[in-house]
Amino acid sequence: MQAGSTITLGDRSLSLEQIWQRLDEVPDPEIPAISLVDLGIIRDVRWEDGTLEVTVSPTYSGCPATSMIKLEIIKALTELGIPRIDLKRQLSPPWTTDWISERGRKRLEDYGIAPPQPAGGPQHCPHCRAEELERISQFGSTPCKAQWRCKTCLEPFDYFKCI
């Protein structure tokens, strides 16, 4: 049973909004401080003939978390009682760090990861907020991060690369 954006499953109804809310509770497997919705990789959720179509854009091409992310989405939606789920991969337009939500950026910083900046480097140290910084390496512990260091508190930190 399908009416607009709400579908009836057994004795209850489920809106697309509730589905987005559930997806917003699924943490990114590599940076659990933010959700898949915060990361901006869920591009669309819609019903198509009783099947829930979820469109996902990959972050980095070779990101090993991609298959884990698919599993986590299917698990979360299956727990909501959705019987048929179709995950679609969307390459174009390519995912950009501009799609990370404001709340996601805040959560990254609270977690100790400097959020991406168009200038190509972190704005300030996520620990002490000092602005005297130096890059240690263009790459880091995951494909999406680089390593920087704060010259004031001397702590190294991850920077979420801007792409």
In the complex, what is the shortest distance from the CB of residue 56 to another protein, in angstroms, rounded to a whole number?
13
Q: How far is CA 106 from CA 14, 34, 65, 103, 117, in A?
A: 30, 9, 22, 5, 13
**Contact positions vs Zn ion (CB under 5 A):** 125, 127-128, 130, 150, 152-153
In the complex, what is the shortest distance from the CB of residue 85 to another protein, in angstroms, rounded to a whole number?
21
Cα distance between residue 145 and residue 139, in whole Å = 6
Task: Using the minimum distance from each CB to another protein, give the nearer residue, 78 or 141.
Answer: 141
Neighbours of 87 (CB within 10 A): 15
Choose one: 28-36, 48-56, 75-83, 135-143; the region binding another protein (CB under 8 A). 135-143
Task: Using the minimum distance from each CB to another protein, give the nearer residue, 126 or 140.
Answer: 140
In degrees, rounded to 5, the angle at the alpha carbon of residue 73 between the alpha carbons of residues 72 and 78 is 100
- Report if residue 93 touches another protein, rule: CB under 8 A: yes
In degrees, rounded to 5, the angle at the alpha carbon of residue 150 between the alpha carbons of residues 124 and 115 is 35
Per CB under 8 A, which of residues 25..84 are in contact with another protein? Answer: 58, 60-64
Task: Using the minimum distance from each CB to Zn ion, give the nearer residue, 9 or 130.
Answer: 130
- Report if residue 119 touches another protein, rule: CB under 8 A: no
Looking at 21, 138, 153, 154, which residue binds another protein (CB under 8 A)? 138
- Report if residue 2 touches another protein, rule: CB under 8 A: no
Task: Using the minimum distance from each CB to Zn ion, give the nearer residue, 71 or 128.
Answer: 128
Cα distance between residue 146 and residue 136, in whole Å = 8
Question: Would you tell me which residues interact with another protein (CB under 8 A)?
Answer: 58, 60-64, 91-94, 136-141, 143, 147, 161, 163
